[in-house]
Amino acid sequence: MSKIVFITGATSGFGRAAATKFANEGWALVITGRREERLKTLADELSKLVPVHYQTMDVRDKNQVIAAVDALPEAFKNITCLINNAGLALAPEPSQSVDLDDWHTMIDTNVKGLVSVTHALLPTLIKVGNGTSIINVGSIAGSWPYPGSHVYGATKAFVKQFSYNLRCDLQGTGVRVTDLAPGIAETEFTLVRTKGDQAASDALYQGTRALEAQDIANTMFYVATLPDHININRMEVMPTDQAWSSFAIHRQ
C-alpha cells in the first residue's frame, strides 16, 4: 500500500466524506472516531474498495491515541497523510452564559486532541518523508471573530499557529503542513453545537448555499496530492454566499 491516510473524527461530516473520497481514489484508510458502530459500518462499506483499518479512539485521551498508533497493523504503519479532523464547537451563547465544562471539552478536543495525534504520528511521517502531509482542520473562526465563538474560535486560532510552527520545525523533512479553514458548512456541526437542536440547525442553513462535506473532502485530497515540492500553508474556503460583515457598534 503506497498511500495511506489516517483520519480522526471519521464517523461524520468532513471526516466521513474524506474517507470516502480517498477510498474512491485508491488510498488505504486508517479511520478513527468515538462511535464504534459508525466506524464499523463505514469500514465495511469502504473495504470493498481499499484496505481499511478502523480503531475506536477518543482524541481527548492521549493514552488511547498512543495505543491506537502503536497498534497499527504492519501494513498500515507507513502513513502518507494525517487528517486531524476530530473537533467540535459547543455553546453558541455569550461567554458569560457558558458552562465551563463546554469550554474545557473544546480545548481538550480541538487543541489537546490534535496535538496528541500529531505527536504520535510525527515519527512515522518524518520516516516516510517526501510527499507526506498533515492537514489540520481549522476554521475561519480562527481568524475572524463573531459572537458566540469565544473558545471555539480561540482553539482554531491555535490550530492555525500550531500549523505554521510545525512547518518551521519540519523544514527539510519533506512533511507538509496545511491549516484548512472552512466557512459555513452543512454537516452535523450545528446539531452538536446546540446539543441536538434541529430547528436551530435548519435555521442556520435556510435560504443559503453552504459548503458540503464533500467540498472539503475534495479540497483535502487536492492538498494531499500536490507535487512533493508544494506546500499550502493555509487554505480558507467559504461558500460564495458567505462574506464578512461590518463592525458591531453598541448604542445607548
Q: Which three cell numbers stand for residue 8?
A: 480522526
Q: Which three cell numbers stand for residue 183?
A: 466557512
Q: What is the DSSP letter of 60?
A: T
Distances (CA, A) of 98 to 91, 94, 105, 153: 6, 7, 12, 14
Q: What is the DSSP string of 114-150?
A: HHHHHHHHHHHHHHH-TT-EEEEE--GGGTS--TT-H
Is 152 in the active site? yes
CA dihedral 229, 32, 180, 49 (to 10 degrees): 60
Q: Which residues face 178 on adjacent strands?
A: 135
How long, in residues, is the chain? Answer: 252
Q: Exactly one of 152, 164, 205, 222 is catalytic; name it.
A: 152
Q: Which residues face 54 on adjacent strands?
A: 31
Q: Are 224 and 124 in contact (CB under 8 A)?
A: no
The sign of the CA dihedral 192, 184, 214, 241 is positive
Give the Cα-Cα-Cα angle 174, 180, 186 (nearest 5 degrees).
150
Which residues are known to be catalytic? Answer: 152
